[in-house]
Amino acid sequence: MRWVAIASAVAAITGYVVILIATTTLGAERFELFNVFWGLFFTLNGIVMGLMHETTRGVRAMARPDDETWERERSHGQDDEAVLEAFEAEELEDASVSAEARAADLALARASNASGINPVKTSVTISLVIGALVLATSPLWAPALLPAQYGATATGLLTVAITLTTVQAVFSGVLSGIGRWRAYAILTMIESFGRVIVALIATLLSDPVTGFLVATVTGMISSPIIMLTPVGRRALSAHTDVSLRSFLSRGGQSMLAASAAAVLVVGFPVLIKATRPGTDPVLLSNLLLAVTLTRAPILTPITSFQSAIVVYFVDRFRQGRRVLLIPIAAVLGIAIVGAGLAWLVGPPIIELMGRGFTVGGHVLAALTFVAGVTGCLYLSGAAVLARERHGVYVAGWWTATIVAIVVLLVTPGVLDAVVLALGLGPLLGVLVHLIFGMGPVTRDNETAPEPSTEPEREAAEHAR
């Protein structure tokens, strides 16, 4: 997991490097063109990540068999060592092979013998369907979100990118499921550094906007690179524990759960553009940059350690709603302090981002505080997941998203609308989690619930 932590940090840093390059190159007049496309791509990317979660779960379920499967293997003389030798005899004899690699090979050996579907092969068809849907529906959203001069280019890039990204999401799930964390981290870092390289090239072009659009989707090249390596080629043989129908059903549910958070967080620039089409581009660029920068200090740590936060709530599930008092108080306390700092030092920092960028301290302070409210929504969602109330988890996030959209539509001023949307939406989402998801849980012997997803189980084992 160390590799995953490093890759996550690299991805976060390089993402903001790309934004800095874009602001200094495009200025406030054109930054919103790039930022809306950035938000649109990462919204779709966040949605298809639901397939990654289901793939991880399904592959890991086969890589770590239950007692019945274990006994069946032993009855056929297939203990762990025998399974591994049959799959990778040469590597077993290599003393340089790490324990993690041996464990991953054993996991892959089990998953390769599974009776379920091959998720990567299945993802090719799924990706073509998703890409076709993006292209077919583009006349409905492209004119409102994308400028006419870049509409065709942006739509084409988005269609190709989301098609390949869907396969990448499933492949990432396979790597996670078999425990190939180093390969998973390398995939993430190739994507991140590739985006920075293309962004730097874009600054030299006569039409840098197109270059930044390409930089946004450059990460789609990382999976083909990893798939060509020996580790990547072997990982393609992994299977899940479910049929095609179950995989599509479970994957669809995971995508639905992921979509609300994706729309409200990374897709917020798209919501603003869609609901406030007549907003001045310079004002919109300033607002989008301010939202991005004020969210980072609070939301990045929370999202990076989401699995560990779930484990925290799993271990304390009998405390009921009280379990959220200290975490929420801590996040809101940080948000208040951050709001004060944003008011004092935020405006000069914004002005350093490029020509035409200027945002008042009171706006930055308000956006920083409401970022803390969104952080509380992540916490309440994690607490609800720890109690295995997935329906309430999704309902809370969708409540926040729908309320934010309504507020953006009905509030007169764009600045007031954005602050209210990012404050009121998540606040009501938290209330849904607290009221419907944090009631009494009846368990035999009052034992804590087991984490229900593979990332949560991995975090639990690490915590122990």
Token reading at 388: 């295995």
DSSP label at 448? Answer: P
User: Are 288 and 31 a contacting pair, CB within 8 Å?
Assistant: yes
At position 158, the amino acid (one-letter code) is: L
Q: How far, in Å, are 299, 346, 367, 369, 417 from residue 361 at the CA level?
A: 20, 6, 10, 12, 17
User: Are 234 and 109 a contacting pair, CB within 8 Å?
Assistant: no
What ranges in 94-150 are assigned the alpha helix state H? Answer: 99-112, 119-145
State the Cα torsion 90-92-96-101 to the nearest 10°. Answer: 110
User: Are 16 and 296 a contacting pair, CB within 8 Å?
Assistant: yes
**Cβ contacts of 314 within 8 Å, gap of 6 or more:** 386, 448, 449, 450, 451, 456, 460
Q: What is the pLDDT of residue 155?
A: 94
In the block, residue with structure tokens 């606040």: 427
User: Are 313 and 463 a contacting pair, CB within 8 Å?
Assistant: no
**Cβ contacts of 203 within 8 Å, gap of 6 or more:** 21, 25, 211
Q: What is the pLDDT of residue 2?
A: 74
Look at the alpha carbons of 355, 416, 334, 361 in this order and tell me if their dihedral is positive or negative.
Answer: positive
User: Are 291 and 347 a contacting pair, CB within 8 Å?
Assistant: no
State the Cα torsion 329-459-228-160 to the nearest 10°. Answer: -40
What ranges in 352-413 are assigned the alpha helix state H? Answer: 361-386, 390-410
Q: How far, in Å, are 62, 208, 217 from residue 205 at the CA level?
A: 49, 5, 17
- Which pTM value belongs to this model? 0.80
Q: How far, in Å, are 31, 144, 303, 306, 379 from residue 322 at the CA level?
A: 43, 45, 22, 19, 13
At position 386, the amino acid (one-letter code) is: A
Q: How far, in Å, are 18, 83, 120, 385, 387 from residue 13 at the CA level?
A: 9, 41, 29, 28, 33
Helix (H) or strand (E) holding 148: none
At position 282, the amino acid (one-letter code) is: V
- What's phi and psi for 149, nearest 5 deg? -70, -20
Token reading at 46: 């966040």
pLDDT tens digits in sequence order for the chain, 464 residues long:
677 778 878 888 888 899 999 999 999 888 988 999 999 999 999 899 888 888 888 888 777 655 444 444 444 444 444 444 444 444 444 444 566 677 777 777 776 766 788 999 999 999 999 999 999 999 999 998 888 888 899 999 999 999 999 999 999 888 888 888 888 888 888 888 999 999 999 999 888 999 999 999 988 888 888 888 888 888 888 888 888 888 898 888 888 888 888 889 888 889 998 898 888 989 999 999 999 899 888 888 887 666 567 767 877 777 778 889 999 999 999 999 999 999 999 999 999 888 899 999 999 999 999 999 999 999 998 888 878 788 898 999 999 999 999 999 999 989 999 999 999 999 999 999 999 988 766 544 444 445 444 444 544 444 44
Q: What is the pLDDT of residue 132?
A: 96
Q: How far, in Å, are 58, 97, 163, 173, 181 from residue 53 at the CA level?
A: 9, 28, 18, 6, 15
